[in-house]
Structure 1
Amino acid sequence: MEQERRRRKRKSKKGFKIALSIILLLIIGIGVYAFSVYSSLTNTLNRTHEPLSREKSEKRGQQVNLDSRDPISVLLLGTDPRGTERGRSDSLILMTVNPDKKSVKMVSIPRDTKTEIIGKGKEDKINHAYAFGGVDMSIKTVENFLDVPIDYYVQVNMEGFKDIVDAVGGVTVNNNLDFTYEGHHFTKGTLDLNGEEALKYSRMRYEDPRGDFGRQERQRQIIQAVINEGASMKSLANYGSILDAIGDNVKTNLTFDEMKDVQANYKDARHSLEQIQLEGTGGKASNGVYYYHVSEENRTQVSNLLKEHLNLN
């Protein structure tokens, strides 16, 4: 009996050691995986980092402090390069984020909006600022147009955006307009789109009675769907492709440390998102070029709303 008891004890210890070994292997495996993800993420975000030519906006007294949870503004640019040319900003969205109010305000600026192009010395379509002087001129022009500081920017190559959509496994959107664009028919209702289809879906505007505003809405749908898909568990297994697509098609002046601060201190603001529309009229000038004219009253109203949200009033 004593021998049998010792045999069971040795067997129990052996089983415990095997279980412990498996647990340790799992922990090590998860640790290696986590390190691999973290290392890949760090390398990708280092690739995306592209600082501005200035340290801070001239419309701010001092640099924002992310640790102090200062309200911030971010300009999202969807750019459309053509071959070796820089191209134009196909989409311009200004976001202000106030962590204490736990809210985000988003203003889509119509690409045909006529305004002064800062640094060029003339009035033109606001999306031409990127063609003339890249991100820096775009930011200065939007700052002048809305009279608010822009702290950060995120630039997305819209042609390469399809790679990001494919990397997250495609997106699902709810389409409220039946239309055909570049050979693909988009029916009303819920649509599952791959990267090429999502790019076409987000580019159409001439068949939309809402014009550029309709296209902006579809672009927001695609961006939100990508965020939702990228945050899902199924995307973890494909993180390498996702990071490669981001590294190839996204630029920002946010550093990796600043991104971590934003995630830690500003994440609750995403729960309340208000979309603000710039109101005006559109028409062709004497030279036959179409422009969108934002009323001065509405421009001032939107500007004051953003300043209040940034605690600048």
Structure 2
Amino acid sequence: MQSALPLRQSPLDHRAQLGRIRFRRAVALMFMTLVLPGSAQLVAGRKETGRIAMRIWFALVITTLLLLAAFAISHSFAISFFLNTTVLGLIRIVLMGLAVGWAYLFVDAWRIGEPLALAQKQRLAMVGINGLLCFSVAGSLLFASHMVTNGQNVISAVFTNGKEKAPAKGRYNVLLLGGDSGADRWGLRPDSITVASIDADTGKTVLFGLPRNMLNFPFAKGSVMAEQFPDGFDCGVTCELNSLATWAADHKPLFKGVKNPGVEATKQAVEGITGLKIQYFAMVNLKGFQKMVDAVGGVTLNVRDRIPIGGVGGPVTGYIEPGKRKLSGFDTLWFARSRESADDYSRMARQKCVMNAMLQQISPQKVLFNFDKIAKASAALVTTDIPAKSADEFINLALAARSHPVRTISFVPPVIRTGNPNIAKIQRMVKKAIDPKAAKKAAKKSAKAGTGAKASPKKQNEGTTGGAIGSLRSGYAANQAEDLGAAC
């Protein structure tokens, strides 16, 4: 009988087995670096490097968890955090440093794995694994740094470094202007003029719409325009409200130190008409608006009539068909500005509906997931004098406004004659909308003096005209609404 003796392993098999062990160890070191940066160095004897990397990693993880908890508790803190350009600059540097440091740890883990001791195929596999992990992790961090840089650029491009302004009687009054800019125009001529009067505590908002074709209006007392036109705007040619931008651009020396004379002249007119103190303005370029709508994936609107695309001086090139539909930036822009088969006041009503839809539908989550596209669109979209320090406050107010119905009051027929507006009546309408107690006192005072105005005609639903509920004769629902969403 032969004795059962253990077979000796051949040197070739021994080397192969040792190679497999080394390869598994090298791969393990790479994935340890992916899951817990510094752990590979720690187990391989490079304790000082490993400890430093792991301390940094744990510090970042703990900081991130604390910030996420703070964001969950306070959305206001989250908004303030991400709108602070100094904080964004610090995050960008941290992300870039993390990308470089992590890439170094991957390369170091590859070196610790002794690639020269591996078989050729195993060395090639290690190079592939290292390259994939290194470039995917570092690339993701550098891309995140790029996104943060875009955020910094947007904040710097859109907002100013000016002084913050206090609310007037508890309200921020922001002049919203919308129009085109082109080679044949002096700057941006506003085709849409609205004042958003926002309660500084609750975010409740009233939109005051001013028709672009308003005539015979005064300016704020003591203003540059009031000195030029003490009896109201009478420029000798076309003296409509939206022509102020052109007039001011032709008389720039009157507006010393003013960056945008057209906006300043329009602001002085709006203050004179409404009696409101305007703290800030935001001017929206309609071409930029189209890009913004596309960036957020479109806006859902209730299209009540067939809306022509084009027309009024040009051919009609298509239509936006009726129905509740998600519109692209191009179609949303034409929904807001089309005048073919409509009038200026039904167009104003549609514009209010677009404003309400944007307010309600653009959520923080949608902004986050489309941030890069929004960042690229924003620079071409808005010009404003709101300082960067106040940006977070206004975004918080916009979020708060979503939980309240938006009220609209427009100074258009049949309530107001745009050719010869009753300024006293307009200012009473404004007071009643933002301060009911003051309105009652004013009504009693005017009644005693025998100057009380008749009640405005009650709007009746006459179907739709030009895509808006109502008619020129009875008025459009979205122009005079307690709840703008319901009127759209």
| Separation in structure 1 between the aligned mates of residue 203 and residue 375 of structure 2, nearest angstrom | 28
Q: Distance in 2 between matches of 1:79 and 1:101?
A: 30
Q: Could you say which structure has the larger radius of gyration? A: 2
Distance 1:50 1:127 in 2: 25
Q: Tell me which protein shows more helix as a share of its residues.
A: 2
Task: Return 5+ residue gaps in structure 2 as ranges.
Answer: 1-28, 40-56, 65-97, 99-136, 220-224, 249-261, 311-316, 442-488
- List runs of 5+ in structure 1 lacking aligned partners: 1-13, 57-62, 284-289
Most deviating of 153-162 and 84-93: 84-93
Q: Where do 1:40-51 residues align within 5 Å?
A: 40-49=150-159
Closer, same or farther: CA 274–230 of 1 in aligned 2, 3 Å? closer
Q: Tell me, in whole angstroms, the C-alpha distance in 2 between the residues paired with 1:80 and 1:207.
A: 21
Aligned ranges for residues 1-313 of structure 1 at < 5 Å? Answer: 20=36, 36-49=146-159, 63-64=165-166, 70-85=170-185, 86-100=187-201, 102-116=203-217, 118=219, 119=225, 121=229, 122-123=233-234, 124-133=239-248, 134-182=262-310, 183-208=317-342, 211-228=343-360, 230-231=362-363, 233-264=365-396, 267-272=399-404, 273-280=406-413, 292-296=419-423, 298-305=425-432, 308=435
Matched to 1:75, the amino acid is L
Q: Secondary structure at the match of 2:277?
A: coil
TM value normalised by structure 1: 0.74
Between 213-222 and 165-174, the greater mean CA deviation after superposition: 213-222
Supply the RMSD in Å over aligned alpha carbons.
Answer: 3.9
1:117 is displaced (CA, Å) by 6.4
Question: CA contact under 8 A between 2:360 and 2:402: conserved in structure 1?
Answer: no
Task: Quickly say closer, same or farther: Cα 1:65–1:117, change in 2 above 3 A.
Answer: closer
Report the count of equivalent residues. Answer: 283
- Opposite residue 179 of structure 1, the aligned amino acid is I
- SS at 1:115 equivalent: coil
**Residues 167-211 of structure 1, C-alpha deviation per residue, up to 9 Å, x if partnerless?**
222222111122323212122211232222222221113412xx2
Letter in 2 for 1:243: A
Taking the aligned partners of 1:252 and 1:126, their CA distance within structure 2 comes to 20
Aligned partners of 2:318 and 2:415: how far apart in 1?
Answer: 28
Query: Which residue identity is paired with 1:129?
Result: L
Kept in 1, the 8 Å contact 2:359–2:402? The answer is no
C-alpha displacement of 1:38: 4.4
How many angstroms apart in 1 are the aligned matches of 2:292 and 2:344? 23
CA distance in 2: counterparts of 1:89 and 1:220, whole angstroms: 15
How many angstroms apart in 2 are the aligned matches of 1:38 and 1:302? Answer: 45
- Deviations 1:138-177, CA, capped at 9 Å, x for gaps: 1111001111100011100113321112222222211112
Structure with the larger strand share: 1
Question: Could you say if the C-alpha distance between residues 304 and 117 of structure 1 is closer, same or farther in structure 2, counting changes exceeding 3 Å?
Answer: closer
TM-score by structure 2 length?
0.50
